[in-house]
Amino acid sequence: MKPRKPGPASITLVVLIALGAIIYAASIVWTEILWYRQMSATRVILTQWGAHIGLFAVGFLAATAMVYCAMAYAYRHRASSVRGETSAALRGYQEALEPVRRVAFWAVALFFGFTNGARLATEWQTLLQFLNSSSFGQVDPQFGLDISFFVFVLPALKVLVSFLMTVTSIGLVASIVVSYLYGTMRLTPRPHASKHARLQSGIMAACLSLFIAAHYWLGRYELLTQDSGSIHGALYSDINATLPAYSILAAVSALVAVLFVVAAFRGTWRLPVTGVAVTVIAALVLGGAYPALVQQFRVRPNQRSFESPYIQRNIDATLAAYGLENLDYQTNYDAATTASAGQFDNETLTSQVRLLDPKVITKTVQQLQQSRLYYGFNSGMKVDRYNVGGERRDTVISVRELNLSGLSAEQQTWVNQHTVYTHGYGAIAAYGNQLTSDGLPSYWEQSVPSIGEMGDYEERVYFSPNAPDYSIVGAPEGAEPQELDYPDDTAVGGQVSTTFTGNGGPSVGNVWNKLLYSIKFGSTDLFFSSQTNEASQILYDRDPLQRVAKVAPYLTLEQSAYPAVVDMDDDASTPKRLVWVVDAYTTTNNYPYAQHEALSDATVDSQSTEIGQYVQANKINYMRNSVKAVVDAYDGSVRLFRWDESDPILRTWEKIYPGSVESMSAISGDLMSHLRYPEDMFKVQRNLLATYHVTDAAGFYSGGDRWRLAEETSTYGGASSTKATERVDAAGNPVAPPTALQPPYYLTMQMPGQDSAEFSLTSVFVPGGGGEGRREAMAGFLAVDSETGNTAGQVREGYGKLRLLALPSSTTVPGPGQVQNKYDSDEKIATQLNLLNQADSTVIRGNLLTLPVGGGLLYVQPVYVQGTGSASYPVLRSVLTAFGDKVGFAPTLEESLRQLVADDGGSSRAPAAPANPSPDDGTQSGATAPSTDASAQLTQAVHDAAQAMRDADAAMSKSDWAAYGQAQTRLREALSRAEAAQSALGAAGTPTSSPSPSASPSAEPQSGS
């Protein structure tokens, strides 16, 4: 019976399935090409795909050919008949296999070809770097080889040897199985192999032995990059025991390869089997037991003297690999602990102290500058500096991004989400060191549209970390705008509309592209929408970090981008641009002797709780901030600027992607003034300097001067607020909030020996060690000069200079934890904060800043108060300061600093109230009556404060700002009376309790709210 031919329906179905598969593949592949083409970065994706495809093809063909030829050769030289007890079983297997033998052979070969090809393709970066490697100009201390050998050549050789070992092993096993199945090789009654089987297995085993020898030989060099133990790199036992053992094992493996070749032609397996046994025993003895014995009985009793040369190698390499070799290290910094009169009466000092904590005030800015619910400041506030009218301003800045979750349910339509609400609008900027009289940020750029001193700039924000997944924008010239630009009560319909005019995304002006993107985003609305036209573009992949990661896949990126309003070409006649700046790093894990760091550990602190997703490798032992990337917030264009001209890893990637990175000379002066030292780089460096500030091998080994990073003392509301008793264990007992590392802080400050106060990044160390008895005094203070200057194409001299102050072990300068304890235990401070931190309000302590001032170290911490309502936000109410053993607490920084040098010895406590005379009738003592009066005054003041809070909230809900201001005045007056009454009670020795206010203090909104 002839097989039936496929009918028209079957053919149609197959064609439709094939067509659907092609279109679906195009929605993945072609849309990527369109995106890269629009970014002028087509070479990037084609190089990446070409490397993947090329390596996969090489691996696939090599592995498939090896496995198939090994099986085919064994089958071709099969025995004509099978003898022995197992002959019947083998014949049964042969008969079952024969009908599908060819298919089975190809299936096995293709399977291993695919898996090995795919594995080889993942190493595309390693092999491209090998083919385009650049010299480091430095050699390792053991072999005298250029560092590039370990970074570029050795990893590629390891990949190649590993691939050949794997493929040869699979081919050898496959040939043995086929030879056994077809009778050319048997195990019983005694092992025997035919001539052809013997030749095949012997030569393949010889090749495998040679690859094993190469593996051992490369292992000698890998010792220098190993990360076992607390000190990384090759130590005494590695150099004097393991390295010779690897050399011997490589020679033995090469000799065994020769024995396999001899056995293949002479027909005896005794010599190679003996050689394999010797190799295994030698590997156990020389590679394992001997180094362990040397370590146990020779090194451990004399570890300090034996390991010192190798520890010194580790120290020198680590400092070089992480850019720490030029550290300005000032030992035994004798910090003053007593402030003298007038020491803090310095306008320059007070202007340097940043009172706005970006983490805390984000909610305040959200409430007062949001304008509409579909805007948000979800990327938070960032610290920067601006030059306005010749005046340098320390600034906190944020971008008003689009927030689609703020739309009501009836507004959540496809048209609104993807064609109407397409962008955010503008930036807000506030003085970092100035506030309003109500404790609010003092803005110098605000509102929608922007009002302030920033100058003329493109305010529309189409690209940001929290932008929608995609938007359809653009229209022919003269068409009616359909995108909401910004709300305006005076405009028709209460809003101003606009049309995107940039080149921000691929075209969806034709049916083919619309179809592909409809499939890509799973939206039929996109395909059938009449909102699109011949000029429409689709904007997607809008996170600045994502865009940089796609055009430069070899870079590790900072965990967050920061915004800046800059003139990209120093042309005053053109509007400035709102851009996102991204710090990018080149890294490797193969720098000889350098200490390895896990980015997931080194970059995590109380504010960054997890590692960023755009990381090439978590484990590294070399890091350079080699690229500054800039992403335009309007059109999404990405520019990469070379920041480290000498980095060999970047030079290697520039050979792979020529022309993708611009020279530093292309950086405008205005953009240069907003670049800075990257935070993640600093975190890794400070983590290392906790140990590697000791550069002498003997002192390093003893570890007596090791430090650790200070723990966070700030609070940000919720479970980690000052209401620590709200956290309880399983038994209901109050527990403290979990500890985390204090983050580094950007601020303007002047280190000892520095000519002027500069924009800097700082961190604090306390003595190392564990257990409950560990000290929390100050051990070290680290700052890096982060000021880049404002000269086009030229970095300011001094930028990147790391300065470390080490305090003597006998120091009495308190660390952050001890300062926080002083604040908590001070009677006046505790009383006032407890008064504010009642059930309906929360005290939030901002960042605890440390500044080297007056020969000592000054601590400054802003204190905010926030209510519990949904519309509440933090308001700065007080400033805590500390110098030595003195603390200050006042509504302003100037008042708080004056308390550190008060005539009564600097105590922050208020002077005791004078004793009142006893009544004439003598019915009560001189202390009781004032105590009773003060208690009544305190109760009344608290009730008045609570009523003022309620009145303020009611006035704000009605937008009655006159009544709101009056309530705020009454609130401040009531709090002052409560503080005075509390001080009087403390002087009289009377314990107090007070009712809690029923509402939170608020603050007057600024214009633009």
Task: Decide if 587 contacts 603 (C-beta within 8 A).
Answer: no
Q: Could you give the CA distance from residue 323 to residue 591 in angstroms, rounded to a whole number?
A: 13
DSSP 443: E
Nearest in space to 867 (alpha carbons), one of 969, 937, 956, 944 = 956
Q: Could you give the CA distance from residue 674 to residue 457 in angstroms, rounded to a whole number?
A: 16
Q: Could you give the CA distance from residue 209 to residue 63 in angstroms, rounded to a whole number?
A: 18
pTM of the full structure: 0.85
Name the burial class of residue 477, with classes exposed (0-12), middle (13-18) and buried (19+) by CB atoms within 10 angstroms of its CB.
Answer: exposed
Nearest in space to 66 (alpha carbons), one of 109, 121, 111 = 109
Tell me what pLDDT residue 337 has. Answer: 81
Q: Could you give the CA distance from residue 973 to residue 966 in angstroms, rounded to a whole number?
A: 11
Q: What are the average pLDDT values for consecutive 10-residue runs of the chain, which has 1009 residues? A: 72 87 92 96 96 97 96 85 60 79 93 96 96 96 97 97 96 92 74 83 94 96 93 95 95 93 82 85 88 91 93 97 95 83 72 88 90 90 92 93 92 94 95 90 93 93 95 92 89 88 94 95 92 93 96 94 93 90 97 95 85 86 97 97 96 96 96 96 96 94 90 64 38 50 92 90 89 77 96 95 91 88 88 77 90 89 85 89 91 89 48 36 40 65 73 66 73 76 57 39 38
Tell me what pLDDT residue 11 has. Answer: 83
Q: Could you give the CA distance from residue 693 to residue 707 in angstroms, rounded to a whole number?
A: 9
Whole-number Cα distances in Å, 148 to 90, 155, 232, 442, 526: 55, 10, 19, 52, 50
Tell me what pLDDT residue 640 has. Answer: 98
Question: Length of the chain, please?
Answer: 1009
The alpha-helical segments, DSSP class H, found in 122-242 are 124-131, 147-148, 154-181, 195-222, 236-237
Q: Could you give the CA distance from residue 93 to residue 72 in angstroms, rounded to a whole number?
A: 17
Q: Sign of the C-alpha dihedral, residues 156, 160, 161, 162?
A: positive
Task: Give backbone dihedrals phi and psi of 234, rounded to 5 degrees, phi first.
Answer: -80, 125
Tell me what pLDDT residue 582 has. Answer: 97
Residue 534 three-state SS = coil
Phi-psi region of 222 (alpha: psi -120 to 50; beta: other; left: phi over 0): alpha
Antiparallel, parallel or unpaired: β 401-402 and 375-376 = antiparallel
Task: Decide if 763 contacts 682 (C-beta within 8 A).
Answer: yes
**Residue located via tokens 């600027």:** 641
Task: Decide if 423 contacts 461 (C-beta within 8 A).
Answer: yes
Whole-number Cα distances in Å, 18 to 4, 12, 381, 516, 521: 22, 10, 51, 16, 21
End-to-end CA distance of the chain: 84
Tell me what pLDDT residue 960 has. Answer: 67
* Per-residue tokens: 301: 């009793």
Residue 802 three-state SS = strand
DSSP 754: -
Tell me what pLDDT residue 911 has. Answer: 34
* Per-residue tokens: 757: 């106060």
Amino acid at 236: Y
